[in-house]
Structure 1
Amino acid sequence: MALIRNSYGKGRVRIMRVKRDSARHEVRELTVEVLLTGAFDGSYTEGDNRSVIATDSIKNIVNFLARDHVGAENEVFAGILARHFLDRYAHVSGVSVTASETKWSRIVIEGAPHDHAFVLDGNGRPTVKLTATREGTTLSSGVSGFTFLKTTQSAWEDYWFDEATTLKPTPDRLFATAMDASWLWSGVPGSYESANQAVLDAALKVFATTFSPGVQNTLYLMGEAVLAAVPDIREISIACPNKHYLPIDLSPFGRAFDGQVFTPTDEPHGQITCTIGRG
């Protein structure tokens, strides 16, 4: 039987590039697939792997080239990846690079785009819940999956340490979350749409402009700001997963970690919840 064609490589290589050579950070989050063609027939037909570049090595190449070209546009970065494989490996005849971007937009605070706080494009799903009896109704509005991040001004230190603790403290980390929140109405605002937007604006202003010693404190401060901004709300409940962006160890490749290249992870994640009311 003839081997008609073949290719192989690494898919779903998730990479967050943070360009932070000034106070104004740039972020590009990509999901990358790299597929190679070339002199690999023997690995299929004979089990001879001597020409095969391990898919883990392909992932490593994506990671360290992301560090070397942290500010490159996506199209340029795809070209850099392809050229690396063609230049480095004579037996590679073709490279297919597919990269899809998770888009982030700057959070706008008082009319100005923030330097290091971002919100996911096409973000969140508004929710409403109404419960009615003959005695009355309760109404809450909310949002699910409302996703935002900041690249600095967040820490995690001075937590409980015992024999189960392996996480290392950090004074500066990337903070990202996908918030589910609901707020219970005690009055009727002039416009629910405007009031709901005021909720998000107040929460995001706190997130972007306040140093975070931990997700717990940030949620509480966001809730306080919402209640101060919208008097018709009785209480707000917030649930935020701590969406982890893990620093990539590039020391085996002679590159330092400078807060520029991360691996996005979906699970497991920390889950932090609280409800803040008027007391």
Structure 2
Amino acid sequence: MAIVLGPNQYGKAETRLVHVTRDGAVHEIKDLNVSVALGGDMTETHLTGDNAAVLPTDTQKNTVFAFAKEHGVGEIEEFGLRLATHFVDSQPSIHTARVHIEEYTWERLSVGGTPAPHSFQRSGVETRTATVTYDGTRAWVVSGLRDLVVLNSTASEFWGYIRDSYTTLRETTDRVLATAVNARWRYASTEGDFAKSYAEARRHLVEAFAETHSLSLQQTLYAMGQRVLENRSEIAEVRLALPNKHHFVVDLSAFDLDNDNEVFFAADRPYGLIEGTVLHDDAPDAGLAWSE
């Protein structure tokens, strides 16, 4: 039985890039974490140590910094497309490039009600993400966000589920529903206004969560993905991972106190994890394998 080399890739992970755009006294900040993964003719470096086909990961890191200087950053999807295309088109031995970018947002401080020109504070708890993959003939873009924590203090139920000899969970028609939204959406093309698309997709995710009377977190997941697809024609597919951040009603009867869904214990683990994909049935490249 022969032993062969299977699928492989390599790259420089988590290059921390902070780019300051200086427009006179007024500055803008882009704060990114950039990871590159390349694939191609890498058999010899694995089998014999011949590195003739290898673009050093240090070079990949330098390219990230140089592109920020030479071309600016702009939207992270656009920056990822420039990098991925460069790595494949400039090196015959590189056949695929995946660039994953996390963006950490900053907001301008104010002094006496006036926006400060060059002073900022980190804003938001969620992280904006983008993953661009290019194989020499086509590119696809996946945008998203991670750790957007949301909570409904009511309008959530959970009942009618399977019960067996190990079931102790009580049915409820009024519970806290909380999650940390991890969402990614694939665009139908690489053209468009990524800033507007991100802002609108985020808005529709949040509004669907808030407006859905939930009988299950699965139902909420589908409603969130459906809302995005119904309102954003440039998006072909939405994938969501929603951890159920359980809130358990505390039994205060030992203290002769009633607890009408007012006092909860917020448990961090274990937790339910609900994952799913929502897409148009005729979406281009439906079922396309996304790079993680």
Superposed displacement of residue 192, structure 1: 1.0
Aligned-pair identity in percent equals 33
**Partner secondary structure for residue 162 of structure 1:** coil
SS of 2:222's partner is helix
Residue of structure 2 aligned with 1:257, choices 236, 249, 259 = 259
The count of residues paired between Structure 1 and Structure 2 equals: 159
Tell me, in whole angstroms, the C-alpha distance in 2 between the residues paired with 1:165 and 1:159: 10
Is 1:156 the equivalent of 2:163? no
Structure 2 residue aligned with 1:140? 142
Give the whole-Å Cα distance in 1 for the aligned partners of 2:217 and 2:273.
9
Letter in 2 for 1:215: L
2:131 maps to: 129
Between the aligned partners of 2:124 and 2:257, the Cα distance in structure 1 is 35
The letter of the residue matching 1:168 is R
CA distance in 2 between partners of 1:199 and 1:128 (Å): 13
Q: How does 1:96-245 map to 2 (within 5 A)?
A: 122-188=124-190, 190-245=192-247
Shift of 1:191: 2.0
- Residue 204 of structure 1: SS of its match in structure 2? helix
Moved over 4 A (4+): none
RMSD: 1.2
Aligned to 1:63: none
2:217 and 2:274 in contact (8 A); partners too: yes
For the residue of structure 2 that corresponds to 1:228, the secondary structure is helix
The letter of the residue matching 2:236 is R
- Secondary structure in 1 aligned to 2:157? coil
User: Shift of residue 187 of structure 1?
Assistant: 2.9
CA distance in 1, matches of 2:206, 2:250: 28
Give the corresponding residue for 2:87.
none
Cα contact 1:154–1:213 (8 A) shared by 2:
yes
Q: 1:193 and 1:200 mapped to 2: Cα distance?
A: 11
Could you tell me whether the CA contact under 8 Å between 2:141 and 2:190 is conserved in 1?
A: no
Q: Aligned-pair distance for 1:188? A: 4.8
- Work out the CA distance in 2 between the residues paired with 1:270 and 1:224: 22
Measure the CA separation in 2 of the matches of 1:161 and 1:221: 26
1:43-73 alpha-carbon deviations (Å, 9 max, x no partner): xxxxxxxxxxxxxxxxxxxxxxxxxxxxxxx
Alignment CA distance shift 1:132-1:189 (3 Å): closer
CA deviations 1:56-111 (Å, max 9, x no partner) are: xxxxxxxxxxxxxxxxxxxxxxxxxxxxxxxxxxxxxxxxxxxxxxxxxxxxxxxx
2:275 to 257, 273, 276: 273
Letter in 1 for 2:202: L
Distance 1:126 1:268 in 2: 26
Higher RCO structure (Cα 8 Å, ≥6 apart)? 1
Shift of 1:190: 4.2
**Distance apart, 1:158 and its partner CA:** 0.3
What SS class does the counterpart of residue 167 from structure 1 fall into? coil
Instruction: State the distance in 2 between where 1:176 and 1:210 align.
Output: 13
Distance in 2 (alpha carbons) for counterparts of 1:194 and 1:214? 30
